[in-house]
Amino acid sequence: MATRRGVVKKSAGQRPQVSKSTGNVFADLGFDRDEAEHLRIRSALMATLRRTLQEKELTQAAAAAVFEVSQPRVSDLVRGKIDLFSIDALVDMLARVGVRVDVRTSVRS
């Protein structure tokens, strides 16, 4: 279970152990550093796409036409099937719906 301040680990009959979050929920769940970073980026892009579809009140069929993909592909997006989408595919979809993607980098401490 995750909390605002960290990850809670609980064994049967024991008090929960709280550890400080890394700031990346995927790393906290045990994914390796590289995979956790890819998942973090893809989840942020997917959330932006889903929010944009809602704001523009696009049906899945209409979104599929804009994205130039099939309706089942949009269904996978809306259902959060993160493993089916590359960062490139998500950036392409965002561009087709008029959303500019800016990239910011920083050195890990």
Burial of 45 (0-12, 13-18, 19+ CB in 10 A): buried
| CATH number for region 38-109 | 1.10.260.40
The domains of the chain are located at: 1-30, 38-109
Please tell me the distance from the alpha carbon of residue 66 to that of residue 73, in angstroms, as a whole number.
Answer: 12
To 10 degrees, the CA torsion angle through 89, 91, 95, 98? Answer: 120
Pairwise CA distance, residues 48 & 32, whole Å: 24
CB 78 within 8 A of CB 50: yes
Give the pTM. 0.76
pLDDT by residue for the chain (109 residues), tens only, comes to 444 445 556 566 777 777 788 888 888 888 888 898 899 999 999 999 999 999 999 999 999 999 999 999 999 999 999 999 999 999 999 999 999 999 988 887 6
Sign of CA dihedral 53, 74, 61, 66: positive
